[in-house]
Amino acid sequence: MPVARCAFCTSTPLREVAVSKWTTDPDDRQRLTVWLCGKHMQRVQKAGPNGYAHGAEKFKAGFW
Ligand SMILES: [Zn+2]
């Protein structure tokens, strides 16, 4: 079910995105899906191996 806001801001989310999430060790990551607005979807998808930092957590698109 769609959620009311983006995982990273208060915008209306555009779509659900499969992401990997970690804090310090990228090899110790969680795989989950989050609802993101267009802006944050782009940022996560373009983040590269270092991920998009949101607070202490890093995110990147995909489960690999
Ligand atoms: Zn957002």
pLDDT digits (tens, 9 = 90+) for 1-37: 567 999 999 999 999 999 999 999 989 999 999 999 9
pLDDT score for 1: 59
CA 7 to ligand 1 centroid distance, Å: 6
Contact 60, 48 (CB under 8 A): yes
Q: Do the bridges between strand 30-36 and strand 57-61 make them parallel or antiparallel, or are there none, so unpaired?
A: unpaired
CA 28 to ligand 1 centroid distance, Å: 25
Average pLDDT over residues 37-63: 95
Average pLDDT over residues 30-55: 96
Contact 33, 16 (CB under 8 A): yes
pLDDT score for 59: 97
Average pLDDT over residues 42-57: 94
